[in-house]
Amino acid sequence: MSSPEARVDSLDGLRSLVAEATIVGSAEARWRAVAAVDPALVERLIHGGPAVVAPDGQSRPVLLAAGTGASPGVGTGIVCLTAEAVLDAVDRDEDALLVCDETSPADEVGMRMAAGILTARGGVASHAAVVARGWGIPAVVGVVGMVVGDDHVVLGGVRVDAGDVVSVDGGSGEVLVGAVELVRAAEAGEVPELDVLLGWADEVRGERIGVQANADRGEDAARARSFGAEGIGLCRTEHLFLGGRLPLVRAFLLAGSPDDENEALAALGAAQREDLTGVLVAMAPLPVTVRLLDAPLHEFLGDDAPPEWREHNPMLGIRGIRLAVLREGLYRMQVRALLGAMDDAAAAGSHAHTAIMVPLVSTAAELALVRGWVLDEIEEWDPTEPPAVGTMIETPRAALLAADMAAHADFFSFGTNDLTQMVFGLSRDDVEQRMMGPYLERGLLPADPFAHLDPGAVAPLVAAATRAGRMARPDLEVGVCGEHGGDPESIRLLVEAGVDSVSCSPFRVPVARLAVAQALIASDG
């Protein structure tokens, strides 16, 4: 059954559509209703947006500047130029916007508390964008001409002092003067027709393609579950090493002796076990895929990096499996922490289903080596239900040699953010600020490949790697955990590629549930 051309894009239209399909009562009517709704409507209902009229009676708020809308919704607050300033504002019961050149893991405590995030650099796959989407915080990134000073920021040639009120629209990418009246996002249960429609979408999907979430903490897992996630497709363990735990990672990386390294690993393991227990309990009995550490070293070390750890291109440097090869104890510690968290979850009455994902693999030999370490730890711990062990396909080489990788993997999960970056040779953190606009205007690219999966090379590479992996291992499970997993246009290509599941930020799960169902309806003809 093909989807209709017209799309329902209003709440009144949604209510009429659901009522009509309910009266008809047939599966065909339900499927037609699912196919008819614009996924953008679901996003608006979840995130809210700016009112048509500003509080001062103007026809629209005054525009200061524009960047890339990286996380939908509207955030209003006083300008805070550091994460610490955000925390101080929150202590005063003031809404705060974190405004900076770019964010790093050290800023995440302040980011979580901010009403919105605004950065001069970055794109839809940058640190600020990915973290903000995961937490449902509005964000605008890559604002051209934005200059951050010690006590002010320049936006669109206008000086805005720290403490002034500014609004960001993470959907349009606009930065607006003052406070903006909001159309409030719908609370759970306030739009029962949406819940009905998404239930019908789940009926269409059945067990064909799952929708999971990228979540790193217990509260994020619980939120993802409330949005209908069927598990966690990506738990990024490096995000559990931030804030007050960042010194523990630095102590490990900068350890001067084996004893110092072992002491740091023990402290990291205890913290990791505690955090993972919270994630497993929140999601049990649904599955949780834990990715072993995969962060560029500069995100942990910053300016403290000694000469031997400094890199000219950290995103292509010692990260992921490469760091593990140099420091074997790291991944072994993380596996033990996960196995311990499974025991702790069981003691709390929660039956956890887990999988372990090895990141940034380029050779089958790398994967075989690290998989051996993981299996050694699992065998020594001897859990009742051992985790599956798979790999994240992020490098073109791993995708091109998928059959070799499948010999050492129980599952694949495509990290399409990094895969896109490496296929194009473009920095996902820098390209959108200056280059993307002119390229799109001149028709040199059909769309931003970090927002919508590239149909020319990246999507075919995912499809070919999926086929090759399954030829080598017919029972191979294939998922996608890049941010493309929450984009309707990308989802259509991923369904065509034959993936078993998509995983995205918790707040994008409802959109993904609908978009996957619509792609399946279209493919069924």
Which amino acids are annotated catalytic? Answer: 127, 481
Please state, in angstroms and rounded to a whole number, the distance separating the CA atoms of residues 338 and 16.
Answer: 48
Contact 78, 60 (CB under 8 A): no
Using CA atoms, how far residue 405 sits from 288, 366, 466, 470, 509, in Å, is: 22, 10, 11, 11, 29
How is residue 240 written in tokens?
Answer: 């559990």
Residue 26, SS3 per DSSP: coil
Paired sense of beta strands 158-161 and 152-155, if any: antiparallel
Contact 298, 275 (CB under 8 A): no
Please state, in angstroms and rounded to a whole number, the distance separating the CA atoms of residues 525 and 514.
Answer: 17
Paired sense of beta strands 165-169 and 388-393, if any: unpaired
DSSP string across 42-101: HHHHHH-EE-SS-TTS-SSPPEEEE-EEEE-SEEEEEEESSHHHHHHHHHTT--EEEEES
Closest to 107 measured CA to CA, from 133, 79, 81: 81
Determine whether 339 is exposed, middle or buried from the number of CB atoms within 10 Å of its CB (0-12, 13-18, 19+). buried
Please state, in angstroms and rounded to a whole number, the distance separating the CA atoms of residues 227 and 188.
Answer: 9
Please state, in angstroms and rounded to a whole number, the distance separating the CA atoms of residues 510 and 518.
Answer: 13
Determine whether 305 is exposed, middle or buried from the number of CB atoms within 10 Å of its CB (0-12, 13-18, 19+). middle
Using CA atoms, how far residue 311 sits from 250, 251, 325, 417, 497, in Å, is: 16, 19, 17, 21, 36
Give the count of beta carbons closer than 10 Å to the beta carbon of residue 304: 11
